[in-house]
Homo-oligomer: A and B are copies of this chain.
């Protein structure tokens, strides 16, 4: 079912499987991210366009929003305690802000029997480099559609396939001028072993 006021199919840009993109998102604009085939993850980073040392922070966000389960109505905060993005629409309600982007090191650790891939970390680093953002500037990402349940009593976490269905989406409105990094995830566990594209639009 189309979301009211949502972008048309022709407005969307495709991020091919196991790749990434970076782009400007001016204040007031809305970023719509769609999982077109379902069960796919998109790692999202946000930096202040005025000074890329200001960056999305899971710790500040957890503190101000008082939850680790972020969905419509919540804001994503920077390391300088400014609201960067507001989640205005969310047809999934299950995302992760605990884990860092998959990387060569995590592929070696978790998938020792599979080919090493540079992962979302390498894809983000390449896409963000033209904006003056280096690998060490990549913090814990907001991982759209990623399904990481936490056992409240033991603290143990698991990485399960996303609950997103084909066409599910999340919409984020920029509160300040942002540089966004966004991927179609490369890891096996986070998407149930199948690599799929991610679509996005700016309206």
Contact = CB atoms under 8 A, between A and B. Distances in A.
Contacts of A27: none
A178 B54 CA distance: 25
A155 interface: yes
Interface-central residue, A54, A70, A153, by most chain B CB under 10 Å: A153
16 contacts: A53-B136, A57-B100, A58-B58, A59-B98, A59-B100, A60-B100, A62-B157, A63-B99, A68-B150, A79-B136, A79-B138, A80-B105, A80-B136, A81-B103, A140-B140, A152-B152
Interface of A: 53-54, 57-60, 62-64, 66-70, 79-81, 98-100, 103, 105-106, 109, 136, 138-141, 149-158
